[in-house]
Amino acid sequence: METPKIPAPKDEGEKEVLEKLIAIRDQLQLRKLDRTTYVRTQDVMILYDQTIEQVKLLNEMRRGKSVEENRVDRVVDSCFQLLSLFFMTIGRNNEAPAAYALTSTIKRLLDHLDEANLYSARDLESMSQTLEHLSVIVHNSASSKPAPFLETLIVHRIERCRASLANLQKRIEDIAEPLRPTADRLVSIMRQMAIINTKSKFTPSEIHKREAELKEIGEMRKDGQFLDADGNVLKGSESVSKLVDRCLEYTKIVLERNGQFPDKWKPIYDVLVGIRNDLDKLSLTQAWSLRETDLYDYQRQLDRIDESRVNGNWVDDQGQPAELYVQRTLLYLIRRSYGYIYHLMISSEPVSEALLPIYNQLQTLKRCLVEVKNSGGVTSARELYPYSMKLHSIDNMKVDGKFMVGEDIPEGQGSVAELLAECFDLNYELRVAAEAATETPPSEQES
C-alpha cells in the first residue's frame, strides 16, 4: 500500500499506532470487498471511532516535535480515504469525513490541470462550487466537534485547493473575453484528439477533421496574433496562439504514431486504459452498480502510477525518460480517470446503499411522470394505474413511517421520503388534470 521510499516510524509509540491502524485498514478493506450484505452505519462508525482514537494518540506523541512523513501518515491517509468513501456509501455525504476523499481528488485534478496548462472555465467552475459546498459541510460539522483535528485537516486541504484554483483562474482572466471561446474550443479539440488517440481502433480521418478545425482557427490570426475589430492585439493572444501551435504539433505526432504505443510503456498504458474504461462504464450505470468504496482501489492505482514519476516524467529500467508522446498520453489517461472519479463522487446520493434500490426506482418513476406531464398528460386516470400501484407498493414498505432493512433504519430516510412525496404529487396533478378534461363538455373544450 505504501511506496518503498516512505520510511517506517522510529518511535516505539508510533510503531504501535501503525500496527493498530494497519489492522483497522485491513478491516475496512475486508468490509469493502464483502458484497453479501449492505454496509451498516454502526460497522463504519466503530472503525471510524477507532481510527480517530489512534490519530489522537499520534498527535499527542508528536506535539512539539518536528516529524518527517513516515508510513504512519500514509496509513492514516488510507484509513481516512476509505472511511470517507464509506460515509458516502452509508449516505452520510453531508458530514465532514465524507469531504476527505473529494478534497484528495480535487487537489489531484487541479495539480494536473496546472501541469498540463489545458483547461476551460467550466472545468474550474464545477470544482469551485464543490469546494464551497464542502466548506459549508465542514463548518456545520464543527459544532458537534467529534474530531476537530480532522475538520481542521479538511479545512486546510480545501484552502490549498482554493489557492490552486485561484492561480488557474488568473490564467483564464489573462485572456480577453472575446478570445475565451476560441481558447475553450482549442481545449475541447485537444481532448477529443486525446480520446481518439487512446481508442482501441485508431481512425486517422477523425484526427484530420480536428486538424482542419485547428487550421481554420490558426487562419483567424494576423501576423501570428489574434486581433479585435479595431485591429488591436487581444489580451492573451500570445498564449492562445501558442495553444494553436501546440495542438497542431500534437496532431502531427498522433498521426505519425497511428495508434501504436511503444512496447516498453505498454504495461502502464494498458492499466490506465483499463481504469479509464472501467470508470467510464461506472459513470453510465452509477445509480445501480456503484458502491463508492469501489473507487478506492482505482484511486490508489492512479496515485501510485502518478507518484512513480521522476521530475514529472516516467523513466524506464535504464533510467531513460519517456518521450513526449508517451508522457502526454499517460498523463491524459490519468487526468481523465481522476475526472471520472470526481464526477462519480459529486453524483453520489445522500442515501445508504441499503435504500438505493428504492431510491433509484423512485428516481425512474419521477422521470417517467415528468415526461408524461411535459408531453401533455394522460387522457384518463386509468393510464396512471401502473404508476399509482408502484408508488403505493413502495409506500407500503414503510414500518412506522420508516424504510427498514431488518432491524436497521438506514441513512437517507428524508431523501427517500421527499422523493416519494414528489412522485405522489406529480401523480395526483396528472390525475386531477385528466379528470378535469373528461368532465369538461366537448363544446367548452373546442372553444
State the average pLDDT for the chain.
91
Residue 212, C-beta contacts closer than 8 angstroms, at least 6 positions apart: none
Give the model's pLDDT for residue 440.
Answer: 59
Between residues 440 and 199, the one the model is more confident about: 199
**Minimal CA–CA distance to 433: which of 381, 364, 365?**
381
Give the model's pLDDT for residue 3.
Answer: 45
Q: Are 84 and 139 in contact (CB under 8 A)?
A: no
Give the model's pLDDT for residue 150.
Answer: 86
Lowest mean pLDDT among 190-194, 210-214, 424-428, 431-435: 431-435
- Average pLDDT estimate for 266-278: 96
Residue 111, C-beta contacts closer than 8 angstroms, at least 6 positions apart: 164
Give the model's pLDDT for residue 437.
Answer: 79
Lowest mean pLDDT among 135-144, 244-253, 331-340: 135-144
pLDDT digits (tens, 9 = 90+) for 311-350: 999 999 888 999 999 999 999 999 999 999 999 999 998 9
pLDDT digits (tens, 9 = 90+) for 386-445: 999 999 999 999 999 999 988 889 999 999 999 999 999 999 999 999 888 777 555 554
Give the model's pLDDT for residue 69.
Answer: 84
**Minimal CA–CA distance to 363: which of 375, 347, 343, 377?**
347
Please count the CA atoms within 13 angstroms of the CA of 356 that sit on its side-chain side: 19
Could you say which DSSP state residue 11 is in? S
- Residue 25 pLDDT greater than 50, yes or no: yes
d(CA 330, CA 272): 7
Q: Are 429 and 373 in contact (CB under 8 A)?
A: yes
pTM of the entire predicted model:
0.88
Lowest mean pLDDT among 50-59, 89-98, 142-151: 142-151
Give the model's pLDDT for residue 5.
Answer: 65
Instruction: pLDDT band for 289, please (50, 70, 90 cuts).
Output: confident
DSSP 333-402: HHHHHHHHHHHHHHT--SS-TTTHHHHHHHHHHHHHHHHHHHTT--SSGGGGHHHHHHHHHHHTT-BTTB
pLDDT > 70 fraction of the chain, expressed in percent and rounded: 95
The domain ranges of the chain are: 177-257, 356-446
